[in-house]
Structure 1
Amino acid sequence: MKRVSLIQQLWFLVVAAVVLAAAGSLAANLYNARDYLEQQLAAQSADAANSLALLITQNQADKAMGETLINAAFDQGHFRRITWLDPEGKPKIQRINAAQFGGAPDWFRQVLPLSSTPARAMISSGWMQAGLIEVESEAGYAYASLWQGALTVSFWVLMAGIVVGLIGSLGVNTIRRQLLAVVDQAKAITQRRFVTIPEPEGPEMGRLAQAMNAMVTRVKLMFEEEAARLEEMRQQINFDKVTALANRDYFMGRLGATLGEPDVAQEMLVLIRIGGLAELNAQLGRPLTDEMLAQFGQALRNPRRFGDDSIAARLNGADFTLLALQSHVDADKISTLHDELAAQLSSFAGQPVLLAMAATDLRQGDSVRDVMSRLDAALALAEVNGGRRVEVATSNVSKQPALTAERWGGLLDQAVAERGFKLVRFAVRNAQGGMLHEEAPLRLRQGEEWLPAGQFLPMAIRTRRVAGLDLAAVAMALQQLADDPGCAGLGVNLAAESLDDDSFITQLAALIRGQRQAAGRLWMEMAEAGVMPRFERFRALCLALEDLPCKIGIEHFGRQFSLIGQLHDLGIDYLKVDGSFVQQIEQHSGNQSFLKGVCNIGHNIGLGVIAEGVKTEAEASMLFSLGFDAVTGPGVK
């Protein structure tokens, strides 16, 4: 049985009230008019009877004169019957109008019958009674008048009903808008979007909206306070107080997580050592040395220069490091950075300062030990050479031949046209060991090889083809889900740069809407670093997908933790916490407290929390005890 909505009930009440008021007004008017006309008919009959009786009496009850008077009165047409009864009650003279006067339909006469009671008057002849005059008025004229009045009253009642209905419609529509605003707010809360609405002017709806807004405001305030507390904890645990750079533990966790990802991006790692820092500290004093190091750290901590996903760290007193995409820190840019940093240090010291720098690229299959060994050897060579140039450590892994942007564009277009891609799968498991879903990064076919995304995605972004690749990956995942109903779900990594394409959101929503059943097992995620500078576009993506059954989340969460304060109105489904916090978590009590807080704040707004970069069972066990819903990484099979 279909339920009647509140708005429909209000409409029913308005219509019923208008109809009942109109019907009541019309009925009252017609019945009053009928009573009045019946009184007029009775008065007319009485007046005519008395007049005829008096005239006939004055003429000594002469039959001929009486007949003349009766005919004269009857011919006026206002009487249905005029009868002169003798003293015995027998008709002496009688005139009857058998024809029924028109002007009103028969059904109207039956609904509102007019009672025309005959009137009698006595006729005398001298002192003797000569009989009675009985007069019955013709009701046809009264019916015609009543019918015309009914039509007129009905018209004006209808006009009044329309006006009242329009006013009621405005009122109902106002209530409807106010109710829908509150309903949309409640719906947004269920979708993990805590938004406020303007308070209506009416006291009842105003109080309801005020209460809802107060609840949302309290949730936001609680959320922001907890986010601020966690951010402060994160800074204390994972960052150096003097330089505000990441500390050694956090950076090594980040490096390990990066190398453990299925697709190692084309990144460059730079190791920097300030020569004679202890002597500088003794010469300048601690306050000035701290100021020098703070400015040194600020120069390395520059996302506009080194990319949003770059990270700089202080490994120990004099050693610093920078990890960024090769497009932001190639050999020429590293050399320029070396000269700038050396000049900055020399300006504080008042003399040249030895600044040794070494760099190496990250390659698929590298371990942390491999990378740091190459860097240490190169840094030692840079120190021997007096820090005059940056030493670049070579990798043992052979590099692919460089391709021009035009050549890459052709390869990507061909792959999209010929479906030269595939999705590889990696498990995401819950605490019971069940499959939550499978991560499905994209691979590009080049000859006999399948290239990981880290090798072709930068050129796809550069040549503005990344949106097409993401749409192809989603289409492929939806098709695989439709073909394999037993698959728990597939997680597709979307590049945040796709949001720069104005048509991407519309095309993505249309693609998912076309495979709605399979989309219930589709998980899509974007990296936190890419979402931050495109936050409003990411919000638009979440709103476009809110009525679709797919899930959307943020991966590598925590690298730029300030984003957590803005999660309350996005409507996302889950977070994938960056592996930087996960490495050897069972030995790191500080990060345990931090991650437990992240789980609490995520669960409080209905988000699932997943850990990425998990390498060991000990890490997974600890993460589940902290409240994580699932884990993924090299150690999860």
Structure 2
Amino acid sequence: MKRVSLIQQLWFLVVAAVVLAAAGSLAANLYNARNYLEQQLAAQSADAANSLALLITQNHADKAMGETLVNAAFDQGHFRSITWLDAAGKPTVQRINAAQFGGAPQWFRQIFPLSSTPARAMVSSGWMQAGVVEVESEAGYAYASLWQGALTVSFWVAIAGIVVGLIGSLGVGTIRRQLLAVVDQAKAITQRRFVTIPEPDGPEMGRLAQAMNAMVTRVKAMFEEEASRLEEMRQQINFDKVTALANRDYFMGRLGATLGEQDVAQEVLVLMRIGALAELNAHLGRPLTDEMLAQFGRSLRNSQRFGDDSLAARLNGADFALLAQQSHFDADKVAALHDELAALLSSFAGEAVVLAMAATDLRPGDSIRDVMSRLDAALALAEVNGGTRVEIAGSNVNKPLALTAERWGGLLDQALASSEFKLVRFAVRNAHGGLLHEEAPLRLKQGDDWLPAGQFLPMAIRTRRVAALDLAAVGLALTQLAADPACPGLGVNLAAESLDDDSFVAQLAALVRNQRQAAARLWLEMAEAGVVPRFERFRALCLALEELPCKIGVEHFGRQFSLIGQLHDLGIDYLKVDGSFVQQIEQHNGNQTFLKGVCNIAHNIGLGVVAEGVKTEQEASMLFALGFDGVTGPGVK
């Protein structure tokens, strides 16, 4: 049985009230009019009877004169019958008309019948009674008057009903809007979006909205307070106090996570060493040395220059490192950075300061030991040369195709037209070893090889084809899900740069909407570093997909932890915590406390939490003990 909504009930009450009021007013008016007309008919009959009786009496009850008088009165048409009865009760003169109803329909006459009671007056002849005159008025005119009155009153009652209905509809509309605002707010809360609404003017709805807003405000305050506490903890655990750069443990964790990713991006690692820093500290004093190092760190933290996902670190007192994508940081930019930093140090020291710098690109299959060994050898050579130039640690034997942007654009267009893509799958497992879903990064066919996303995605972004690639990946995932009902889900990594395409969100929503059944097992995720500078566009994506069954998440979470304070109104479903925090987590008490706090705050707003970059069973066991819902990485099969 279909339930009647509150708004429908209000409308029913408004309509019922208007109809009852109109019907009551109309009925009362017509009954009053009918009573008045019956009185008028009776008065008319009595007046006519008295007048005729008097005139006939004055003419000595002469039959001829009486008949003339009766005919004259009857011919006026106001009477249904006029009869002069003699003393014996026999009709002396009688005139009768057929009943007339003045055009009033039968159903109306049955509801509002008019009774016209005959009136009598005595006729005398001298001192003798000569009979009586009986007059009955014609009700046809009264029916016509009552019917026309009914039509007129009905018209004005209908007008009044419409006006009252419009006023009522405005009131119901206002209540409906207020109710829907509260309903939408409650619905948003169930979707993990804690939003406030304007408080209505009415006391009842105002109090309800006020209570809901107070609850949302408290949740936000608790969330932001916990997020602030976790951010403070993260800074203390993973960052150097003087330079605000990442410390050695965090940086090595990030490097290990990057090397362990299935799609290793084209990244450059730069190692720097300030020569004779201890002597410089003794010469300048600690406050000035700290100021110099703070400015040194500020130069390395320039995300606009090195990319949003870059990471700079202070490995120890004099050693610094910078990890950045090649697309933001080529050999010329490394050399320019060397000269800029050397000039900064020399300005504080008042003389030339040796700054040794070495760089290498990350290779598929590299371990941390491989990378650092290359860099250490190159850095030693740079120190021998007096830190006058940057030493490049070898060449990458697996460099991507050296193609121009135009050639890459043609290659990508051909791949899109011919669907020369495939998805590879990597497991995401829960604490019981079950499959939560599978990560499904995209591969591009090039000859006999399948290129990982790290090799073609930067050029797809540069040539503005990344949105088309993401839509192709989602379409491919939906097709595979529809063909494989046993698959628990596929996770597709979307590039945040796709949000820069104004039509991307609408196209993605339409694609998912057309395959709703398969979309229930679709996991869509974007990297935190790309979401932060495009936060409003990401919010628009979440809102566009909120009624659709797919899940939305943020991957590499924690690299730019400021996002956590804004999660309460996005409506996302899960977080994938960056592998930087995961490496050797069983040995790192500080990160254990931090990650447990992340799990608690995420679970409190209904988010699932997955760890990336897991390499060992010990790491996985510790992560599940901390509250993680799933793990993925090289050690998860």
TM-score (norm 1): 0.97
Q: What is residue 494 of structure 1 aligned with on the other side?
A: 494
Q: Deviations over 1:472-502 (max 9, x none)?
A: 1111101000111111000001111111112
SS at match of 2:436: strand
Q: C-alpha separation between the residues in 1 aligned to 2:5 and 2:294? A: 63
Q: What is residue 512 of structure 1 aligned with on the other side?
A: 512
Q: What is residue 119 of structure 2 aligned with on the other side?
A: 119
**RMSD of the alignment, in Å?**
1.5
Cα displacement (A) at 1:558? 0.3
Cα displacement (A) at 1:586? 1.2
Q: How do 1:147-162 and structure 2 match up within 5 A?
A: 147-162=147-162
SS at match of 2:102: coil
The AA in structure 1 aligned to 2:263 is D
Cα displacement (A) at 1:57? 2.6
Q: What is residue 276 of structure 2 aligned with on the other side?
A: 276
Confirm or deny: 8 A CA contact 2:45 2:119 kept in the other structure. Answer: yes
Cα displacement (A) at 1:568? 1.4
Q: Does 1:171 align with 2:171?
A: yes
The AA in structure 1 aligned to 2:315 is L
Q: C-alpha separation between the residues in 2 aligned to 1:67 and 1:353? A: 145
Q: C-alpha separation between the residues in 1 aligned to 2:432 and 2:87? A: 115
Query: Do the aligned partners of residues 175 and 388 (structure 1) sit closer, same or farther apart at CA in structure 2, a change above 3 Å counting?
Result: same
Q: What is residue 69 of structure 2 aligned with on the other side?
A: 69
Q: What is residue 442 of structure 1 aligned with on the other side?
A: 442
Confirm or deny: 8 A CA contact 2:436 2:630 kept in the other structure. Answer: yes
Query: Do the aligned partners of residues 396 and 174 (structure 1) sit closer, same or farther apart at CA in structure 2, a change above 3 Å counting?
Result: closer
Cα displacement (A) at 1:552? 1.1
Q: What is residue 184 of structure 1 aligned with on the other side?
A: 184
Q: What is residue 603 of structure 1 aligned with on the other side?
A: 603
Cα displacement (A) at 1:401? 4.6
Which shifted more, 175-184 or 343-352? 175-184
The AA in structure 1 aligned to 2:388 is R
Q: C-alpha separation between the residues in 2 aligned to 1:195 and 1:619? A: 37
Q: C-alpha separation between the residues in 2 aligned to 1:338 and 1:244? A: 20
Which shifted more, 30-39 or 121-130? 121-130
The AA in structure 2 aligned to 1:247 is N
Q: C-alpha separation between the residues in 1 aligned to 2:125 and 2:256? A: 137
Q: What is residue 49 of structure 2 aligned with on the other side?
A: 49
Q: What is residue 573 of structure 1 aligned with on the other side?
A: 573
Q: Does 1:587 align with 2:605?
A: no
Q: What is residue 484 of structure 1 aligned with on the other side?
A: 484
Unaligned runs of 5+ in 2: none
SS at match of 2:444: strand
Query: Do the aligned partners of residues 342 and 370 (structure 1) sit closer, same or farther apart at CA in structure 2, a change above 3 Å counting?
Result: same
Q: Deviations over 1:125-149 (max 9, x none)?
A: 3333332222111111111111111
Cα displacement (A) at 1:517? 1.1
Q: What is residue 91 of structure 1 aligned with on the other side?
A: 91
Which shifted more, 182-191 or 524-533? 182-191
Q: C-alpha separation between the residues in 2 aligned to 1:68 and 1:463? A: 114
Aligned length in residues: 637
Q: C-alpha separation between the residues in 2 aligned to 1:432 and 1:101? A: 91
Confirm or deny: 8 A CA contact 2:425 2:440 kept in the other structure. Answer: yes
Q: Deviations over 1:334-359 (max 9, x none)?
A: 11111111111111112221211111
Q: C-alpha separation between the residues in 1 aligned to 2:427 and 2:32? A: 85
Q: C-alpha separation between the residues in 1 aligned to 2:417 and 2:429? A: 34
Q: What is residue 33 of structure 2 aligned with on the other side?
A: 33
Q: How do 1:273-422 and structure 2 match up within 5 A?
A: 273-394=273-394, 397-422=397-422
SS at match of 2:636: coil
SS at match of 1:240: coil
Q: C-alpha separation between the residues in 1 aligned to 2:573 and 2:101? A: 81
Q: What is residue 200 of structure 2 aligned with on the other side?
A: 200
Q: C-alpha separation between the residues in 1 aligned to 2:274 and 2:77? A: 128
Q: Does 1:138 align with 2:138?
A: yes
The AA in structure 1 aligned to 2:100 is Q
SS at match of 1:451: strand
Cα displacement (A) at 1:54? 2.3
Q: What is residue 525 of structure 2 aligned with on the other side?
A: 525
Q: What is residue 539 of structure 2 aligned with on the other side?
A: 539
SS at match of 2:242: coil
The AA in structure 1 aligned to 2:254 is R
Q: Deviations over 1:594-617 (max 9, x none)?
A: 111111111121211111111111
Cα displacement (A) at 1:396? 6.8
Q: C-alpha separation between the residues in 2 aligned to 1:602 and 1:78? A: 92
The AA in structure 1 aligned to 2:80 is R
The AA in structure 2 aligned to 1:474 is V
Q: C-alpha separation between the residues in 2 aligned to 1:61 and 1:101? A: 34
The AA in structure 2 aligned to 1:369 is R
The AA in structure 2 aligned to 1:408 is W
Q: Deviations over 1:189-232 (max 9, x none)?
A: 22211122222222222222222222222211111111111100
Q: Does 1:20 align with 2:4?
A: no
Q: C-alpha separation between the residues in 1 aligned to 2:332 and 2:106? A: 105
Identity %: 87
The AA in structure 2 aligned to 1:384 is V
Q: Deviations over 1:526-559 (max 9, x none)?
A: 1011111111111111111111111111100000
SS at match of 2:92: strand
Q: C-alpha separation between the residues in 2 aligned to 1:176 and 1:536? A: 29
Q: What is residue 215 of structure 1 aligned with on the other side?
A: 215
Q: What is residue 554 of structure 1 aligned with on the other side?
A: 554
Confirm or deny: 8 A CA contact 2:363 2:396 kept in the other structure. Answer: no
Cα displacement (A) at 1:46? 1.2
Q: C-alpha separation between the residues in 2 aligned to 1:317 and 1:133? A: 134
The AA in structure 2 aligned to 1:192 is R
Q: What is residue 614 of structure 2 aligned with on the other side?
A: 614
Confirm or deny: 8 A CA contact 2:102 2:142 kept in the other structure. Answer: no
Cα displacement (A) at 1:513? 1.4
Q: C-alpha separation between the residues in 2 aligned to 1:618 and 1:384? A: 42
SS at match of 2:200: coil
Cα displacement (A) at 1:395? 5.0
Cα displacement (A) at 1:32? 0.4
Q: C-alpha separation between the residues in 2 aligned to 1:395 and 1:636? A: 31
Q: Deviations over 1:566-592 (max 9, x none)?
A: 111111111110000111111111111
Cα displacement (A) at 1:426? 0.4
Query: Do the aligned partners of residues 306 and 127 (structure 1) sit closer, same or farther apart at CA in structure 2, a change above 3 Å counting?
Result: same
Cα displacement (A) at 1:400? 4.2
Confirm or deny: 8 A CA contact 2:363 2:398 kept in the other structure. Answer: no
SS at match of 2:536: helix
Cα displacement (A) at 1:69? 2.1
